[in-house]
A and B are shown apart, each in its own frame.
Chain A
Amino acid sequence: MKENVASTVVFILLLFLNTNLLNGQSPPGKPEIFKCRSPEKETFTCWWKPGADGGLPTNYTLTYHKEGETFTHECPDYKTGGPNSCYFNKKHTSIWTIYIITVNATNQMGSSSSDPRYVDVTYIVEPDPPVNLTLELKQPEDRKPYLWIKWFPPTLVDVRSGWLTLQYEIRLKPEKAAEWETHFAGQQTQFKILSLYPGQKYLVQVHCKPDHGFWSEWSPESSIPIPNDFSMTDATVWIFVAVLSAVICLITVWAVALKGYSMVTCILPPVPGPKIKGFDTHLLEKGKSEELLSALGCQDFPPTSDCEDLLVEFLEVDDSGDQPLMPAHSKEHPGQDVKPTHSDPDSDSGRGSCDSPSLLSEKCDEPRANPSKFHTPEGLEKAEKPETNVTQPQGPQSTSVEGKIPSFHVSGSQSSTWPLLQPPGLHYSRSSYHSVAVVCKLGLGTAGAAPTLLDKTDTRALKPSQTIETGGEGKAAEHGESESFRSKTDQDAARLLPQDKTPLTSAKPLEYVEIHKVSKDGALALLPKQNENSGRAEKTSTPETSKEYSKVSRVMDGNILVLVQDRRAQNLAPFEEPAKEAPPSLPQNPAAVDLASFPAAPSNCRLQLGALDYLHPTGFMHPFQ
């Protein structure tokens, strides 16, 4: 029985619940307080959002309790704030106090409470917008026109006592514009706008913010039309623009002036003028051709005064006492060259010709047969004997040591010049060969053999020379053996022969001092040229009667060789002339001229000694023929 009652009750209850459920009624949903705000930090309002009401009328109550208190209060005003709100007036508002606020929703079915919201009025201040926004166009007489905007703080906010400090911000725009132009106004309640477009209607708004709160809403728009004659000209702007433009122009001009040339050259590079390396136009203007050409690197063309130092004059010993060759170039010793003082019959005298053992030959283009002379390059390398002075044995010419002329004045009768060496290819006729071109490389190959060769060639010094007249054959038949040694040197030495041999073939017997041999250190062993006749006839004996100036007594000025006879030449009969000095002769090499003292180092390439004078052929030819 009881069980039946119980089950019946349960059934009824379930039915009732189900009925309610079928009706859609339920307890209210949970409300939510979504905003609490104080407009002036003296009152505040909270708004809640109700939950589902469950289909039944739901009653909402707001309860709260304050920090530090225990009892709960209910919302004092549900109306002022609107629906679902609670307004706390000044009496109920405590600053710097946390409120714990809860909203309860109750309906027939049940009730629900919201989550408690912790509210501190201090931090929820959001004032109302400013009021009484006024716009006024002011156009004073002497100043620019402007728009004057004025407003008042919201009414509720107590700014006078300093309870709240407000800051304002305005914004404006032409009516049709899309973007607002915002200006911060600070704590002032007025603002001036200067830049306005005439003929448009402007809209203005303002809002405010407390010192530690949130920005208010924007005030309602105020509009004002700007008349068309609203002049906005500003002379100051134009003056500023003009000054700025002037400054920019000045800077540009200054920059161009500084860098203009480089810019122009960068864009339009200057056309390079002709330039010869070493060519100095100033020297050309001054007319110093020598310096000019020397700067260009022509050391010997045309001959300059420097080349005078290396002049090797033809030593012409004329037995007949004829007028000597004209040594045109010898500036320092013109007199010497002219005076024939040689009295002794000098076996060396003779004319320059192929016959002569000297080096000339223009008519003997073949390699010269004076290996001895042509040993110069070799001798340059290996002369053991240091240079010794070889003075002019005869006469005053010997004093030429003082001069700058290489004093190859071997013959005593008169100053004779012989063309020592002439670079191949120089075909001009000249009376004196001023240049001793020693091609170093020529003798390098056989330099080692030079000393030994020299010995052998001593006896045959004149023979090769004699063979020259046979057509300038550089190779003497009778000196075959020596030829073999000297074949190379001959060929090399041939180049050393001055090309111009024609003028030397003078009818007058001239004595030429021939380079007898070249010692290993490049010293020239000079022999006085014996008579052609005697030389030819007695080839073998020529060495005995030959006078050899193979000693360089000294070198003057670095490029003048003073030669003396070498008494101790092994294969040579010493001259009667005493040598100024008699240094011990070299066992292998009679004292030889050390041509290494010439400016061009013999070990280097071309040793070109002295420049070459241009001489008139007639004057040149005269002494010879």
Chain B
Amino acid sequence: MDNKGSSQKGSLLLLLLLVSNLLLCKSVASLPICPSGAVNCQVSLRDLFDRAVILSHYIHNLSSEMFNEFDKRYAQGRGFITKAINSCHTSSLSTPEDKEQAQQVHVHPGVKENEVYSVWSGLPSLQMADEDTRLFAFYNLLHCLRRDSHKIDSYLKLLKCRIIYDSNC
């Protein structure tokens, strides 16, 4: 039962770390783009992309740090990586898998086909009584979060350089 308590504590700590990091993200770009109440607020695309890139970069940094911490502390010798293959709920989404494909990404706001939602149903696994199952659930969650945040960061940087700097960063 000690293991269970410690693992629960660890899970809770990680969740706290995640939440706090996400909250801290606000401090990264603490200034709102448009002050509240401003009507004709025009933000340049450059500033918008800069802010977006800063945020995505920061989020991926945090996700990577969380995963590494968890892996070092709870996942050693458990073979979680083996079980985490192809287990992200977002893997069904078709996303670019290399640079060429990523450079082909075009943003078409309003197009319905871009709205693809993949529902995450791993919450019960996070609350499982079995420690091994619960720890794997956390591992999987953090693994997928790290990957997806990296994807987002990469796509945004590509978009920024392409749109703002005309592929001449």
Taking Cβ atoms with an 8 Å cutoff, the residues of A that contact B are 41-42, 67-68, 90, 93-98, 100, 118, 120, 122-123, 158-163, 165, 211-212
| Residues of chain A lying within 8 A (CB to CB) of residue B169 | 159-162, 165
- CB-CB nearest in chain A for B164: A162
Q: Does B85 count as interface, using CB distance less than 8 angstroms?
A: yes
Kindly list the 6 A-B residue pairs having the minimum CB-CB distance in the complex, ordered from nearest. Answer: A162-B161, A162-B157, A94-B97, A162-B169, A68-B86, A118-B81
B86 contacts A67, CB within 8 Å? yes
| Residues of chain B lying within 8 A (CB to CB) of residue A93 | 98
| Residues of chain B lying within 8 A (CB to CB) of residue A90 | 98-100
B98 contacts A42, CB within 8 Å? yes
Q: Mark B71-85, 1 if CB is under 8 A from A, else 0.
A: 000000000011001
Interface pairs (26), CB distance under 8 Å: A67-B86, A68-B85, A68-B86, A90-B99, A93-B98, A94-B97, A95-B97, A95-B99, A96-B95, A96-B151, A97-B97, A118-B81, A122-B147, A160-B161, A160-B167, A161-B103, A162-B158, A162-B167, A163-B157, A163-B158, A165-B169, A211-B57, A211-B153, A212-B60, A212-B61, A212-B153
Given contacts A98-B85, A162-B158, A162-B160, A212 and B167 within 8 Å (CB-CB): no
A68 contacts B99, CB within 8 Å? no
| Residues of chain B lying within 8 A (CB to CB) of residue A165 | 157, 169
- CB-CB nearest in chain A for B101: A95
A28 to B96, CA, bound (A): 40
| Residues of chain A lying within 8 A (CB to CB) of residue B95 | 96
CB proximity of B83 to chain A, nearest CB, Å: 11
| Residues of chain A lying within 8 A (CB to CB) of residue B167 | 160-162
The B132-169 residues at the A interface (CB cut-off 8 A) are 147, 150-151, 153-154, 157-162, 165, 167-169
B99 contacts A122, CB within 8 Å? no
A115 to B151, CA, bound (A): 29
Q: Does B91 count as interface, using CB distance less than 8 angstroms?
A: yes
Q: Mark B35-66, 1 if CB is under 8 A from A, else 0.
A: 00000000000000000000001001100100
Given contacts A68-B86, A118-B81, A161 and B97 within 8 Å (CB-CB): no
- CB-CB nearest in chain B for A97: B97
CB proximity of B13 to chain A, nearest CB, Å: 23
Given contacts A160-B167, A161-B99, A96 and B162 within 8 Å (CB-CB): no
- CB-CB nearest in chain B for A68: B86
Can you add 7 more A-B contacts, CB < 8 Å, to A68-B91, A123-B64, A162-B160? A95-B99, A96-B95, A96-B147, A160-B168, A162-B161, A211-B157, A212-B153
CB proximity of A158 to chain B, nearest CB, Å: 7
| Residues of chain B lying within 8 A (CB to CB) of residue A95 | 97-99, 102, 154
A162 contacts B91, CB within 8 Å? no
CB proximity of B74 to chain A, nearest CB, Å: 17
| Residues of chain A lying within 8 A (CB to CB) of residue B91 | 68
